[in-house]
Amino acid sequence: MIRNLLFDLGGVIMDIKKDNCVEAFRQLGLPDTSAFFGDYGQKGPFAQIEEGMITVDEFHAYVKALIPAPATDAEIDAAFMKFLIGIPVERLRELQRLRAAGYGIYLLSNTNPIMWHAKIAEEFRKDGLQIGDYFDGIVTSFEAKALKPKARIFEYAISHLGIDPAETLFLDDSQANLDGAAALGFQTALVPDGAEFADILRKRLG
């Protein structure tokens, strides 16, 4: 029985486009920009800030050291947030419907404090609510100090959220992340590029 729905953010709830971010950093002068951004994860300081291993100030300093031309903190943040496109309001309302139907609704995201406290928070406010109004619990990688698909972040989620993985369906756009969750007993569902999680859940939940 599925009692809980555990959502990834980027690629499931929020639309993203890595290439926009890569191009923005290329314009700032970051060399070999694409080397820092994988299909489902970042590298270097971009991964370190998502894993909570460095602070925002340290991240800015690391990136400035990589860029030959001067760049401000605001310019770096603006380039980083080009990764995010936005959340259609209908997806926000679908989360509310699922919660009203009695499911525990949770979020598990590889993200960073720069995006989390700015663009992500802003997108969740667009229908008049706050991000916490949509979820019974939230786990971010920078707070858990672990990244999907590592077992540690799923163990943290089980403990922090108080959920039984056997009763929890985890939705993600990365098969590697789903495999990591399945190894700890979660039920899983892939949300392919261009798919809507609502359609997948209607088929899965009936």
Task: Note the Cα 120 to chain centre separation in Å.
Answer: 9
Hey, what's the torsion of the CAs at 148, 152, 157, 160, to 10 degrees? -150
Collect all residues with Cβ–Cβ distance below 8 Å to 38 and sequence separation of at least 6: none
Collect all residues with Cβ–Cβ distance below 8 Å to 181 and sequence separation of at least 6: 6, 148, 149, 154, 165, 170, 172, 188
Phi-psi group of 110: left, alpha or beta (phi > 0 → left; psi -120 to 50 → alpha; rest → beta): beta
What residues are annotated to the active site? 8
C-alpha 164/C-alpha 108 separation (Å) is 15
